[in-house]
C-alpha cells in the first residue's frame, strides 16, 4: 500500500487528488467550511476552509480519518457517491503517507509566527 501511495505521489497525481477532494468537501461541507459564505461556522473554519488549496494543512491525521465519516450525516443531495468516497479515502491515505514521508515539519509544527520556521540561532 505504501509503495502504491509513493508511486501516486511521484506520478504527480497528489495535486489532482487534493483538488478533487477539496472540490468534494467544498460541495458537501461548504455550508460551514467556506469562509466566503454567510453560513460559515467560525469553529469549522478553524479546522479547514474549503477555499484554501492546502485545506488539510491544519488538520491532524485523526481529523483526516474522521472526515470521511462526516459525509454520512449529510443531506441526501450533499452526500458523495461511492466513487467519490473511494477517491476521498485514497487522498486521505496519500496525504497521511506524504506527511510521514516528508522530512520537513507539517504546518504548525516547529513554526513561529507567520508560519516561518523557527531557528535556534
pLDDT digits (tens, 9 = 90+) for 61-117: 999 989 888 888 888 888 899 999 999 999 999 899 888 885 655 555 444 444 444
Q: What pLDDT does 76 receive?
A: 85
Half-sphere exposure of 28 (CA within 13 A, CB side): 23
114 is written with which cell numbers?
Answer: 507567520
Q: How many Å apart are CA 18 and CA 90, to the nearest integer? A: 10
Q: How many Å apart are CA 55 and CA 19, to the nearest integer? A: 9
- Residue 58: pLDDT over 80: yes
Cβ neighbour number for residue 116 with a 10 Å cutoff: 8
Distant-in-sequence, close-in-space partners of 37: CB < 8 Å, separation ≥ 6? 30, 31
How does the average pLDDT of the chain come out, rounded? Answer: 80
Question: Taking the domains of the chain in order of start, what are their residue ranges?
Answer: 2-115
Q: How many Å apart are CA 32 and CA 59, to the nearest integer? A: 16
Q: What pLDDT does 107 receive?
A: 55
Q: How many Å apart are CA 107 and CA 53, to the nearest integer? A: 14
Amino acid at each position: 500500500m505504501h509503495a502504491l501511495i509513493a508511486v501516486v505521489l511521484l506520478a504527480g497525481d497528489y495535486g489532482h487528488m487534493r483538488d478533487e477532494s477539496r472540490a468534494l468537501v467544498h460541495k458537501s461541507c461548504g455550508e460551514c467550511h467556506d469562509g466566503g459564505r454567510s453560513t460559515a461556522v467560525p469553529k469549522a473554519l478553524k479546522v479547514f476552509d474549503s477555499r484554501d488549496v492546502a485545506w488539510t494543512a491544519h488538520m491532524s491525521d485523526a481529523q483526516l480519518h474522521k472526515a470521511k465519516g462526516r459525509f454520512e450525516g449529510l443531506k441526501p443531495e450533499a452526500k458523495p457517491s461511492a466513487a467519490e468516497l473511494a477517491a476521498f479515502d485514497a487522498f486521505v491515505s496519500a496525504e497521511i503517507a506524504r506527511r510521514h514521508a516528508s522530512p520537513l515539519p507539517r504546518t504548525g509544527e516547529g513554526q513561529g509566527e507567520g508560519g516561518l520556521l523557527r531557528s535556534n540561532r
